[in-house]
Amino acid sequence: MPKVTYPLSLKVSLWLAANLLLLAILGAGFFLTQGGVGWSALVAGPSGDRVHALFNVIAGEAAAAAPGPARDAVLARFGGAYGAQFSLHGPGELALAGSGSALPPALRERLEFRGPPRPFPGGRPRDRGERIDGGQPGARPGAGEPADPRASPRPRLEREGPFRGEVSLFPAAELRPFRFISRTQDPPAYWLGMRVNFAPADRERPGRPPFAILLARLDTLPGLLHLLNLQSWLLGAGAVLALSILFWLPLVRGITRSLRDLTAATGRIAEGRLDTRVDTRRRDELGHLGESVNRMATRLEAQQHSQKRFLGDVAHELCSPLARLQLATGILADQAPAGLRDTVGDAREEVQQISTLVNELLAFTKAGLHPRTVTLTPVAVEPLAREVVAREAPGHPVEFAFPPDLRAAADNDLLRRALANLVRNAARYGGPGNPVTLSGATAAGRVTLAVEDEGPGVPAADLDRLGEPFFRPELARTREGGGVGLGLAIVRTSVAACGGEVRFANRRPRGFRAELTLGAA
């Protein structure tokens, strides 16, 4: 049965569409219930209606109380309960209760009361429907009745003032709900104002309650949100954000984990650890990429194994003819006439060079053909390093910097072969008299061994290729210096067989550093 595949683009698109749909539903619900966007939305919808009902209750209790300290006490009691400073204002900025301090100019502009209260003629309240100019309801000025130039072009309705003998004029538009939120800098505060019904008990004509403005001053934005009872909306917004994060987290973590595994695997393959494999359980593009990486690593490993086996077989077959050739050139050098000894010596030197190459080929293939059969044992690093230096660089100045009893998990012969090649290169290319430093350290269960010299280093462009078979930098490490390009390849293969890693770098201002990382024993 063929496996069903799910393209990564389809997954991302579906998750994104679902997330956007969720946010759209929640956002539409918020704006529909609040009735708009911005500051006005906070008092235009159900939240504003609840606060308006509260303000009417406060105004009703204040109206029922006696003018003066009793009304102030009512506003103070509600202010303590809601963390606000309430004040009640009538026409012409008349302070009916609460704080007697003057309102900020920016706030006075928001109030819809226009001008001071105007007294009735003769101190008598007008009858319902009586015009301000003394005419009859619905009458127009006649020829002998000039129009009042002070009349407002807007229709105005007569409302009795909060006190006996007073009337305030409100525009007809003021009959609809009036609510606002304002922020002032001097003093720094938030102001919430609403038109409320204010009907004192001592009025002569209680039929039509007058209007007043109830103001609430709040010093902080959280206090304003508390008064508007919007904490639930803030909690809801936080819940939506958290839900969105949790909604996307599984997909994002799955993608990033797979990409991280692929990156680490390709890095190990680039370092020569061709037995690396990645998880291929995904059924999308990342899963197909993992399968391609695994196939690439398998083919590279097979090709490398075949090449090493071929080189090993060739080197092994060359050993016997070379041994006979070396013996023959040795006998010929002893019996050759004086005129031919230089020629025979050159031939003998070439045979020796070929023998060295064959021996290095054998060492290279031996280290890399069967890396999985290597048995790792605790190896004392400093004694092994001193033994290698005594054999490979006798008489050369060498400095040792190893912690006491430093041990690495490795194969003794492979680690000796790797250190021997590094010490030989450092002594050869570091220059006579320049010290070679061997050091070690332990961190996080890993042992790091470093071999450093003070030579010319390696061109930066060639650093990544060091360790490739038969690769030799043209400028710094030539054949005239002695070498066929297998020394560092042997180092890399030997350390990889021990489960370690090799890094090469140039030192500053000059020098070369080879670093081996192995498991701690």
pLDDT (tens digit per residue) in 281-316:
888 888 889 999 999 999 988 887 787 777 777 777
- The 10s digit of each residue's pLDDT in 333-350 is 888 888 887 888 888 888
Beta-carbon-side half-sphere exposure of residue 225 (alpha carbons within 13 Å): 9
- CATH code for position 194: 3.30.450
Q: Which range marks the domain in which residue 499 is found?
A: 372-520
Domain boundary among 368, 400, 419: 368
Q: What does the pLDDT read at residue 174?
A: 41
Q: How many C-beta atoms surround the C-beta of residue 397 within 10 A?
A: 13
The tens digit of pLDDT for each residue in 90-133 reads: 765 577 888 767 788 877 777 654 444 333 333 333 333 333 33
pLDDT digits (tens, 9 = 90+) for 228-240: 887 777 777 778 7
Q: Are residues 451 and 507 in the same domain?
A: yes
Q: Is residue 401 part of a domain?
A: yes
Segment of 130-144, 206-220, 356-370, 407-421 carrying the highest mean pLDDT: 407-421
| 85-90 and 94-98 strand pairing | antiparallel
Q: Which tokens go with 92?
A: 């012409």
Report if residue 238 sits inside a domain: no
436, part of any domain: yes
Where a domain ends, among 368, 399, 419?
368
At 260 the three-state DSSP class reads helix
Residues 350 and 403 in one domain: no
| Band of pLDDT at residue 224, cut at 50, 70 and 90 | confident
Residue 254 lies in a domain: no
Q: How confident is the model at residue 75 (pLDDT cuts 50, 70, 90)?
A: very high
Kindly state whether residues 189 and 305 are assigned to the same domain: no
Same domain, yes or no, for 73 and 89?
yes
| Inter-residue contact 135 to 151 (CB < 8 Å) | no
Angstrom distance (rounded) from CA 445 to CA 319? 42
pLDDT tens digits for 180-198? 888 888 888 888 988 888 8
Q: How confident is the model at residue 17 (pLDDT cuts 50, 70, 90)?
A: confident
In this structure, are 427 and 507 located in the same domain?
Answer: yes
State what percent of residues in the chain have pLDDT above 70.
Answer: 75
Q: What is the mean pLDDT of residues 250-269?
A: 87
Last residue of a domain, one of 368, 396, 420: 368
Residues 392 and 352 in one domain: no
- Clarify whether residues 182 and 90 are in a common domain: yes
CB 429 within 8 A of CB 512: yes
By CB atoms closer than 10 A (0-12, 13-18, 19+), residue 396 is middle
Place of tokens 């409100």: 170
26, part of any domain: no
List CB contacts of 65: < 8 A, sequence separation 6 or more.
71, 73, 74
The pLDDT tens digits for 441-450 are 999 999 999 9
Q: Residue 520's pLDDT is what?
A: 92
Query: Quick check: is 206 in a domain?
Result: yes
DSSP state of 175: G
Task: Answer yes or no: is pLDDT of 413 > 70.
Answer: yes
Domain match, 80 and 209 both: yes
Residue 136 in any domain: the answer is no
3-class SS of residue 129: coil
For the chain, how many structural domains are there in total? 3
pLDDT tens for 455-483 read: 888 888 888 888 877 777 765 444 445 55
What does the CA dihedral 317, 319, 325, 327 come to, rounded to 10 degrees? -140
Task: Give the relative orientation of helices 8-34 and 285-335 as an angle to the nearest 10 degrees.
Answer: 140
Q: Place 519 in a pLDDT band, splitting at 50, 70 and 90.
A: very high
pTM: 0.47
pLDDT of 399 above 90: yes
